[in-house]
Structure 1
Amino acid sequence: MTLKDLPNVELHLHLEGAAPPAFIRGLAREKHIDISGIFAEDGSYSYTDFWHFLKVYEAACTPLQTPEDFRRLTLAVLEESAANGVIYSETFLSPDFCGNRDLAAWRDYLAAIEDAADQAERTMGITLRGIVTPIRHFGPDKARETAICAAETAGRFITGFGIGGDERSGKLKDFRWAFDCAREAGLRLTAHAGEWNGPQEVRDAITDLGVERIGHGVRAIEDLALVDELAERGTVLEVCPGSNIALGIYPGWRAHPIEQLYDRGVKVTINTDDPPFFHTTMAREYDMLNRAFDWDEGVFRQIARTALDAAFCDADTKAKIAKKLEAADA
């Protein structure tokens, strides 16, 4: 058994952000859409900083116009994830990009995504669940519409609700209505916080929105009292080291705080965020963390179990995934 053979669980993956560049280029050609300006000479996505990344991300979504486009996208993303050892994944889905938050259209997009997920589970052995995510910089009013889409489709596949986008846009408390709506529908809650803003943003996500997981959350390390509180509460961090380094939040892998958080008892998980944008995969995340911190198989197995415990899926799905992890441990 080597690190590349270890099955893993991913909780923080943006579906559109995981689109292979070649897939998006091909789809754009089919639709005669010119988005050539978002690609580098080697064919990868090209951006200068986080805010430019958001614009490139949204431009890359423009060829994704129909439910069939999203069915094909889901298969392409899950094929890449499965090839990198992922056996269970939760992906952020935005009704903003799937029918412009129209409920009837959202249902059509969702049906196509679920169909692809079922096909991938049969043929690739990877299980997918969805977390509906409003875009923070689109504002609270649109987030309400997104929350209604989430509440109306909560169930076996849609199991969570979160928020992504520009962390410096507005306050988390502005989105309280949307999170209350999702909570009342039985959805589990997470939020991007503590990536660009500091530790207070992590506190706000917990106190203002009542989330049980934090997307990123790494800036908590700047307040050790908060770190200890996260450990005591059992709050799970969806850490994306390669993303943080690619965007310049930390200068390199050894400078990343994931090991400090782990050593202080915080429940950390390993995730890829928007992998082709950040030139990463789950296999690469494992490899780089092993090189930076000398983490062995035991650490990665424990983190995978932590991720599964924190997953938003139902008990039967969780038991099925647990058996796969246990088989690999044997």
Structure 2
Amino acid sequence: MSTIPKVELHLHIEGAAPPAFIRGLAQEKGVNLDGVFNDDGSYKFESFNQFLSVYEAACTVLTGPEEFARLTTAVLEQSIAQGVIYTEAFLSPDFCGGGDVGAWREYMNAMQEAAAKLPEIEMRGIVTCIRHFGPDQAKVAAKCAAETAGGFITGFGMGGDEMVGTQGDYAYSFDMAREAGLRLTTHAGEWGGADSVWQAVRDLKVDRVGHGVQAIDDLALVDHLAEHGIVLEVCPGSNVALGVYPDWRSHPIEKLRERGVPVTVSTDDPPFFHTTLSAEYDRLADTFGWDDEVVREVNVTAAKAAFCDTVTREKLLKTLEPTT
């Protein structure tokens, strides 16, 4: 495992919940989560749609700010153990107060306060709408984002089922977030092909693309991403676990990097995919020969692409400088 400090840009706060944490909350609340876990205690799913269903079922025990504060602590402690010094987590108002701005603010404050108690790591929040909840509900999430922009909340994005509608259907919400000063990202090119990445770049004018790996199928797009410095939040273990690619050798992250596309490495929903950020880099080293120089380069790319203030960015880049 590389000892180089790590920067993670693509992490869903609920999807990073340790299974034992969710089971414990379910027991405390007397909630039946049959079908959510395998016999060994891990999350149970066999397809992307099942993954979404299990994800949302697990979220049913996260019913208040206090639970999200505890969740934040559990997730960040996992990250610290992997050498992560900075993380951006996707936070959805749909799961945090149902989109009510006042309730969302209480959830957000609880997560921010929990994060502040762990000085080993910096955390920022990216408010995220859920694509398969539709464009109107996305506007609700965008309003929550705009009302709490600044400081802890530094970005706006979109997750969920990439096959529902088009990126452009959500342009109003992204414009609202942009006007509030938030940086933008969206899931694209995980399932929707290279065209979905074009949509994200053209119609939403995002700073970064979540996943984006299917851009490799359109070399004109690859060159566009490289030329314009549009950063991909790549999650190789997630892509292999969900069947986007059959194995690590087939994954395009190295081809994208070789063609000049700025790539970063993240875990997405690590307990679901039986991975950690250290494990991701270990597999990349085994598969593509990534050494410490490449690992440092990728994390410097992530630090430069982070949706954070200048002081924080400079601190991260200083920490990532070689020690010898």
| TM superposition shift of 1:196 | 0.2
Deviations 1:75-116 (A, max 9, x none): 000000110111000000000000000000001000100001
Alpha-carbon distance in 2 for matches of 1:205, 1:313:
21
- Structure 1 runs (4+) deviating above 2 angstroms are none
Equivalent residue, structure 2, for 1:74: 72
Indicate if the aligned counterparts of 2:2 and 2:292 stay in contact, CA closer than 8 A.
Answer: no
Q: TM-score if structure 2 supplies the norm length?
A: 0.99
Equivalent residue, structure 2, for 1:286: 281
Pick from 134, 137, 143: which aligns with 2:138? 143
Pick from 144, 160, 168: which aligns with 2:163? 168
**CA RMSD after TM alignment:** 0.7
| TM superposition shift of 1:170 | 0.9
Alpha-carbon distance in 1 for matches of 2:59, 2:295:
33
Q: Residue 226 in 1 paired to residue 258 in 2? A: no
Residue identity over aligned pairs, in percent, reads 62
| TM superposition shift of 1:329 | 3.7
Within-5 A mapping of 1:265-284: 265-284=260-279
Alpha-carbon distance in 2 for matches of 1:220, 1:104:
39
Which residue identity lines up with residue 290 of structure 2 in the other structure?
Answer: W
Q: Residue 20 in 1 paired to residue 6 in 2? A: no
Indicate if the aligned counterparts of 1:202 and 1:220 stay in contact, CA closer than 8 A.
Answer: yes
Alpha-carbon distance in 2 for matches of 1:160, 1:96:
16
Equivalent residue, structure 1, for 2:206: 211
Pick from 32, 56, 59: which aligns with 1:58? 56
Give the 3-state SS of the residue equivalent to 1:5 in structure 2: coil
Which residue identity lines up with residue 76 of structure 2 in the other structure?
Answer: L
Deviations 1:108-145 (A, max 9, x none): 00010000110112xxx111000000000000000001
Alpha-carbon distance in 1 for matches of 2:68, 2:274:
22
Equivalent residue, structure 2, for 1:178: 173
Within-5 A mapping of 1:1-330: 3-121=1-119, 125-326=120-321, 329-330=323-324
Give the 3-state SS of the residue equivalent to 1:17 in structure 2: coil
Which residue identity lines up with residue 298 of structure 2 in the other structure?
Answer: I
Which residue identity lines up with residue 255 of structure 2 in the other structure?
Answer: Q
| TM superposition shift of 1:323 | 2.1
| TM superposition shift of 1:36 | 3.0
Deviations 1:281-323 (A, max 9, x none): 0000000000000110000000000000000000011112222
Alpha-carbon distance in 1 for matches of 2:136, 2:192:
22
Indicate if the aligned counterparts of 2:26 and 2:61 stay in contact, CA closer than 8 A.
Answer: yes
Indicate if the aligned counterparts of 1:4 and 1:85 stay in contact, CA closer than 8 A.
Answer: no
Which residue identity lines up with residue 317 of structure 1 in the other structure?
Answer: T
Indicate if the aligned counterparts of 2:82 and 2:277 stay in contact, CA closer than 8 A.
Answer: yes
Segments of structure 1 that go 5 or more residues without pairing to the other structure are none
Indicate if the aligned counterparts of 1:4 and 1:84 stay in contact, CA closer than 8 A.
Answer: no
Alpha-carbon distance in 2 for matches of 1:36, 1:325:
44
Alpha-carbon distance in 2 for matches of 1:107, 1:62:
19
Alpha-carbon distance in 2 for matches of 1:185, 1:179:
10
| TM superposition shift of 1:4 | 3.3
Q: TM-score if structure 1 supplies the norm length?
A: 0.97
